[in-house]
Structure 1
Amino acid sequence: MIFPPSYFFFFFSLVLGSIISISSTSWFGAWIGLELNLMSFIPLIALKMNSFFSEAALKYFLIQALGSVLFISSSFLFLSFSSFSMLSILLALLLKLGGAPFHFWFPQVMEGLKWPQVFILSTIQKFAPMTLMSYLMINEVLIKITIFSAILSALIGSLSGLNLTLLRKIIAFSSINHLSWMLIAISISDTSWLFYFFVYSFILLSVTSIFHKLQTFSLSSLIQSDQNSIFHAIIISLNFLSLGGLPPMTGFIPKWVIIQIMVNLNLLVPLFFLLLSALITLYFYLRIVITLILLFNPILNFNMKHKSLTRNPLLSLSKVLFQLFSSLLPLM
């Protein structure tokens, strides 16, 4: 069981907070939704009396509280100083998202979480701030600041992920890199970033569910886990390649759409940095994938665990088919 039954109330209020925030007609209502979302996620982090969980919960609370204070203070100034207020709200939302240059807290908090909480922090917790950020994309200055933040996030998320062996930090910097694509998409249109967000969420759900089942938190423990069949290695490898955006995997489809839109809008300089960062992230994904493929043989496998992924073969097969979905696009 991922959560104790009593914690499903907090998960429900977490989703409710996001819904209140994105459907509010005022900044004050949006702030209430963000606060409900924050206070619901703290108990989900501290599932057990553990120093790592407590540290992650405290760091997350302090950063989100700082962002909330900046958010509500800026909204009070909206009628008198609208331009400054909108800029401050944008910076507060970037701080809540963990986008560069306010990314410093995200990998540290991620390191103290379990895999289900990693998924929630990387997807559900980002939905409301990104939706509120899309409401601000009516000002040219704010659009340029968002594009600049996207370029920084792309470079930091790709370069900082090199030479890492801890899987949660790799996923954290990968999330920062994917956030750069979503920030660019937010500055372009609502449809493109929503499409990218949902595809990324499904891929990350597949990755985190596998890691949670194997209870692996580092590259060495992943290699030593149950990889004694080629099918298991293929599932994890396809998920990583799709997360990296390698064609013809499903993760390439939203990137392809955004690339075409950016070319049509002559956003060639941001596109160069995004593509460069995508190649760098693909490098450290390929490093993991090649290791998995080489060690799928039982003779080469230093297998210390016996946690099979084939208890639910239909679920495993659905993960494979989802990652290969985009290969059917030319036929369509």
Structure 2
Amino acid sequence: MPFSPYKISFLLTLVSGTLLSISSSSWFTAWIGLELNLMSFIPLISSKKNQLPTEASLKYFLIQALGSAIIILSSTLTLLYPQLALLLVSLALLLKLGAAPFHSWFPQVMEGLSWLQAIILMTIQKLAPMFLISYLSMSFYTHTPIFLAAVFSATVGALGGINQTSLRKILSYSSINHMSWMLIAMLINETSWMIYFFLYALITSSVALYFLSIQSYFFFHLINSNTTPLTKMISILSLFSLGGMPPFSGFIPKWIMIQEMISAGFFFALLILLLSSLVTLYFYIRLSLASISISYAQSKWSLTFFFHPTSIYSPLSSMMNLFGLLMPSALLIM
């Protein structure tokens, strides 16, 4: 995604659409913000030179247009069947979000994007639907589909990434799994899911930026990457942080959510989410062990360099993922 003037203008419009949806006082204004966000993201991911981004942009447009059409349909049913309208709005927002069982489009769209476009899809594009879901009045018709979507997302995100060799699909299923934690957090309080989303966005962006820096898109690219041992070690620790292994930064939001779910009595959902997190941590460890045990052949000349040109994102990645190690020390000082 080259930084041309029209790309920057579309990016600004995309952020403006998200902010409009979040700060809107009516569902009509929120719908306008979602459409503005959609029409700004399509030019950012489409390409004349490659067929994969064009196919991904078409899939993304069709799914998001279907979600918007369901929101328009629900607006016609508001006066006659208000509970049904709330149910349709929640299902449409879950479809736009890519939560299970409406998740099948998300890994396919991710597979056709570059890493910078994937970061936008995994972070900024999830903001508006998630805020709108949190604004819904929690009745039986909205609480139940959100709870079921969270349980399905945890299961699908864990099992879907096991046999994947594409790093973009692995991160997409990881995003679906993290989405389950945020959906459960919405049912408890707003502060928890905002903290979780902020840390999730930082950690996911750092891992994707590292993959961008070494130009890795598949499993064998990560194994054969010609990087320094320090850079490879930082990437492994970043994956552990994304999986939520203590004491890295990714464990902090899960720790908060575990305490909140125990206090709220979500014991069954907590069991499902913890088991799914163990499965996601399994395929992160599988990636890490393969990259450690299988080393790319390097000449002695390349090993004498202390700084590698592909390791520019290593300080960023380490800062975002390893500050969780400093949290106990900070608490002791306080």
Give the TM-score band, short-chain normalised: over 0.9
Specify the code of the residue in structure 2 equivalent to 1:317: P
- One-letter amino acid matched to 2:124: I
Is 1:158 equivalent to 2:158 in the alignment? yes
Residue 327 of structure 2 corresponds to which residue in structure 1? 329
Answer yes or no: is 1:258 the counterpart of 2:273. no
Q: Residue by residue, what CA displacement relative to the aligned partner does 1:149-184 show, whole Å, maximum 9, x if unpaired? A: 100000011001112111111111111111111111
2:47/2:54 contact within 8 Å kept: no
- Listed as ranges, the matches of 1:30-41 within 5 Å are 30-41=30-41
> For the Cα contact (< 8 Å) 1:223–1:302, is it kept in 2?
no
Q: Which amino acid aligns with 2:199?
A: V
Q: CA deviation at 1:215?
A: 1.5
Query: Residue 314 of structure 2 corresponds to which residue in structure 1?
Result: 316
Aligned pairs for 1:225-240 within 5 A: 225-227=225-227, 229-240=228-239
User: Could you list the runs of 5+ residues in structure 2 that have no partner in the other structure?
Assistant: none
Q: Which residue of 2 aligns with 1:290?
A: 289
1:120 corresponds to which residue? 120
Preserved CA contact (<8 Å) 1:27 1:72: no
In the TM superposition, what is the alpha-carbon distance from 1:136 to its structure 2 partner?
1.0
Identity %: 50
- Verify the 8 A CA contact 2:161 2:170 in the aligned structure 1: yes
Aligned twin of 1:242: 241
User: Post-superposition shift, 1:2?
Assistant: 4.2
Aligned to 2:184: 184
TM-score of the aligned structures, taking structure 1 as reference length: 0.93
RMSD: 2.0
Judged with a 3 Å threshold, the aligned counterparts in structure 2 of structure 1 residues 226 and 41 are, in CA distance, closer, same or farther, namely same
| 1:330 CA displacement | 2.0
Task: State the shift of 1:79 in Å.
Answer: 3.1
Give CA-to-partner distance per residue, 1:95-136, whole Å, 9 cap, x none. Answer: 000101100111111111110111111110000000000011
Residues 2, 116 of structure 1: 8 Å contact kept: no
Give the direction of change, closer, same or farther, for the CA distance of 1:313–1:45 in structure 2 (3 Å limit): closer
Give the Cα–Cα distance (whole angstroms) in 2 for the partners of residues 316 and 309 of structure 1: 11
Q: Is the 8 A contact 1:99 1:149 kept in 2?
A: yes
Paired residue for 1:218?
Answer: 218
Q: Provide the aligned length of Structure 1 versus Structure 2.
A: 326
Q: CA deviation at 1:210?
A: 1.3
Separation in structure 2 between the aligned mates of residue 302 and residue 151 of structure 1, nearest angstrom: 44
SS of the counterpart of 1:232? helix
C-alpha separation in 1, matches of 2:91 and 2:239: 31
Q: Distance in 1 between matches of 2:288 and 2:44?
A: 31
Structure 1 unpaired stretches of 5+: none
Q: Indicate conservation of the 8 Å contact 1:224/1:303, yes or no.
A: no
Other-structure match for 1:301: 296
Moved over 4 A (4+): 308-315
CA change 1:38–1:309 in 2 (3 A) is: farther
